Structures are given as C-alpha cells and as structure tokens.
Amino acid sequence: MQARLLLEDGTLFTGKSFGSEGESVGEVVFNTGITGYQEVLSDPSYCGQIVTMTYPLVGNYGVIRDDFESVRPFIHGFVVREHEEVPSNWRAQYTLGSLLKEYGIVGISGIDTRMLTRKIRHHGVMKSLLTTSNKSVAELTEILRGTSLMTDQVARVSTKSVFGAPGHKERIVLVDFGAKSGIIRDLSKRDCDVVVVPQDATAEQIRRLAPDGVLLSNGPGDPKDVPHAVEMIKGLLGDIPLFGICLGHQLFALACGADTDKLKFGHRGGNHPVKDLASGRCYITSQNHGYTVKEESVAGTDLEVTHINNNDRTIEGLKHKKYPAFSVQYHPEAAPGPFDSSYLFDDFISLIRQHKRDNPEQPRQAQMLAQWKASTASSSVSKEELQYAKK
C-alpha cells in the first residue's frame, strides 16, 4: 500500500506503507541513532512527533518487549529508508510492522530520508501529515493547515495514579512528565524506594510522601506548556534535593528564573558530545529534546552552568548555587557510552545524604507535636487543655 508524507512547506514524499493504515499529523523530526529504534518508539518524549530515522535500515532485529522504555509507543508516525519485514535476531518477539499495527501508528518506507533530514536541518522541524489514504494533495494540504500541533503531550503520557518500585534506601519521588523506564531501573539498582507520581502533583502532595529526594523526569513538548510543574518545583526548592533530566532540566531552569527557547531541529540521537566544565571531560550522551535553556537567561539567577554541548555550545547541565539541586539536558539512564553518565544518579544520592547530615530532622513525634500545636493555636482550645497536652 502507498503512503505519503506531506510537509507544511508543500514537499511531498511518496513511499510504501508499513504498520497501521490511517492518517496522522505531527511535528516531523529526525533521530541519528544507528540502533535503538524500539527505544525511540517507546520513549514518551516523542509524543506528537513523526520520527525519521537517519540510519537506512530499520526493523532488522525485530522488537523485544524487555527493551521498551514505556508501556506503549506514543509517536505519531515512523519514517525509514528501508523497512526489514523479516528480522534476524534470536531475542526478537515480533516485527516492527506488527508493533505499529498494534498501536495504530502509520509507517512509511522507501523515501529519501537523507533529503528529508537535510531539509529539516536547513529549514527546521515542521508540521507534517502522514497518510495511507487516497485523498488529493489539495485535501491533505487543507487538513494539515487546519490541524494544530498538540500542547498537552505531558498530560497524555504521564501516569494517572501513584505507584511504587519498593527499595530499602533513599525514598525518591519521581515526577512522571513522560519518564523512561531506564530512570526507574537506575534508581532501583541503587536500592532506592521509588514512588512515581503524576505530572500534576503539587508540592504539598509530594511532601506528604516524605521523600529524601525528588527526580524531575524527561517528557515531551514545550516546558512552558507545563506551568503547574514550575510552581511545584518552586515549592520544593531548597527543602528537598532535586535532580532534573531533559524536560525536568528545563522546568528546573524556569523555576529558578531562567528562560527556554526552541531549537531549530533539536538534539535526537545517541552520539551527542557533552563537556563537563569542572573536569574538562567529554561524555557521549543520548538526547531527545527540541528545547534548550537560553544561555543569556542564566545570568542574574542562582544557577551555574555545569555542562555544555560540544557541537553547538548549548547548555547541557545546571546546578543551584545555594540549594541541593542540579539537572542535565541529556539522558544518563540511556547508556550510549555505555555507562558514562550513570554517575549522576550516584551524585544525586550523595547530595541527598549530605543534605540529611547538614539538616538533621526532628524525631517524628516532635514533628507531629509541632504540627498539632500549630493547628490548635488558632482554635478555641483552652490554656488548661494545652498544658495537659504538654504533660
């Protein structure tokens, strides 16, 4: 079956359909990974996007459920040069085409992905329509113009309820803006008691879970579309150690008074060089984002730049000068190095332990008594009753 990809500048690509039949509108982007197409498909950060793989052969090792980064794919379309229908891999459980059919995702193969990638690099990411229908180009153009790109991706991909991955050490509240499973795996390796909460959890709700630290996850879209998360971070900053990844990094920056902006074509792939300014060491990182923290906006805040991208000098890491909080734009759980950046999870746990040493907590009983006193101070409790309670 024929499939077509129409860009908002009028460019039309015609190829072969694989996966589901149908029609989808999204932002067309490209990923430079040589392997890892199933991790790309299952990364919630791609919600609302039509993903182009620059590596020419995709599907050759099939699909392995154990390697997924979320329960299901969230992308709006998949574009490849050559789709291998019969995988050769002893671990493969089913084919790429069957995965796309299962979740209603349209795929297109047999087009010039090099030309498409060069166009995106030159003109920037753009709205596009991927379809298997027989509608005329004029009809497709009208549909594309009349459809707006979504702005509620975080709400779509986030968990709707609290759940846990029990451990015996530090309790980490993971705020799910579209969290990859790898983040939970890395925390669980360190025996952390992980509690995952929805993206709209308030600071007060998070405090009630008695966390030792809060991890702000990755996620899709523009950080400015999630203003409630910025307010939540402001409510926790300084009291509880924070660690932000990708979208969490951008939200952390906004909460501290910095600003974000959209990149021309984003960073998506597993080979982005990032320099640690403290050590001078360069790390190979996995990235998937279309927005960045504006360098000039950091001046005048309490933030310090810790990492930069060696390709375009954009900010890749921040830390707070006064509070126990830091963030990175890339994915330390993705292991492209393979484990170059996993030390960041250890740094987070070390930060939590240092914060505990510097700020010893009162015994629980004393805390509850203080809360009771505060609640009764404005009530009609008599002085004699208060004296009795103290005894």
CATH number of the domain that residue 173 is part of: 3.40.50.880
In the chain, at which residue ranges do the beta strands (DSSP E only) sit? Answer: 2-7, 12-19, 23-31, 49-53, 57-58, 77-79, 82-83, 106-109, 126-131, 163-165, 171-175, 193-197, 213-216, 242-245, 260-276, 282-293, 303-309, 315-320, 325-328
Q: Which amino acid is present at 42?
A: S
- Please confirm whether the linkage preceding 338 is cis (ω < 30° from 0): yes
Domain with 36 in it: 2-150
291 is in an annotated binding site: yes
- pLDDT, tens only, 41-62: 999 999 999 999 999 999 999 9
**Whether residue 306 is found in the same domain as residue 387:** no
**Chain centre distance of CA 257:** 21
**Whether residue 250 is found in the same domain as residue 277:** yes
36 is in an annotated binding site: no
**Whether residue 58 is found in the same domain as residue 129:** yes
**Whether residue 216 is found in the same domain as residue 351:** yes
pLDDT, position 221: 96
**Whether residue 211 is found in the same domain as residue 72:** no
77 is in an annotated binding site: no
**Whether residue 352 is found in the same domain as residue 372:** no
**Whether residue 343 is found in the same domain as residue 378:** no
288 is in an annotated binding site: yes
Least confident of 255-269, 278-292, 374-388: 374-388
Residue 363 has pLDDT above 80, yes or no: no
DSSP state of 239: T
pLDDT, position 387: 56
Domain count, the chain: 3
- pLDDT, tens only, 136-193: 999 999 999 999 999 999 999 999 999 999 999 999 999 999 999 999 999 999 999 9
Instruction: Please state, as a whole number, how many other Cβ atoms lie within 10 Å of the Cβ of residue 302.
Output: 15
**Structure-block tokens of residue 319:** 């830390």
Range list of H helices, 94-136: 96-102, 113-123
If phi > 0 it is left, if psi is from -120 to 50 it is alpha, else beta; for residue 36 that is left
Dist CA 122 CA 265 (whole Å) = 9
Nearest CA to 356 among 240, 244, 191, 236?
A: 240
Helix (H, G, I), strand (E, B) or coil at 7: strand
**Whether residue 294 is found in the same domain as residue 314:** yes
Residue 115 φ then ψ, to 5°: -65, -45
pLDDT, position 384: 54
Dist CA 126 CA 281 (whole Å) = 35
Task: State the catalytic residues.
Answer: 246, 331, 333
283 is in an annotated binding site: no
286 is in an annotated binding site: no
**Whether residue 128 is found in the same domain as residue 206:** no
Residue with tokens 């930060």: 351
330 is in an annotated binding site: no
pLDDT, position 32: 96
Helix (H, G, I), strand (E, B) or coil at 4: strand
**Whether residue 139 is found in the same domain as residue 209:** no
**Whether residue 55 is found in the same domain as residue 203:** no
Residue 150 φ then ψ, to 5°: -70, 155
Nearest CA to 212 among 229, 193, 198, 231?
A: 193
Residue 380 has pLDDT above 60, yes or no: no
Annotate 244-305 with three-state secondary structure. Answer: EECHHHHHHHHHCCCCEEEEEEEEEEEEEEEEECCCCCEEEEEEEEEEEECHHHHCCCCEEE
Mean model confidence pLDDT for the chain: 94
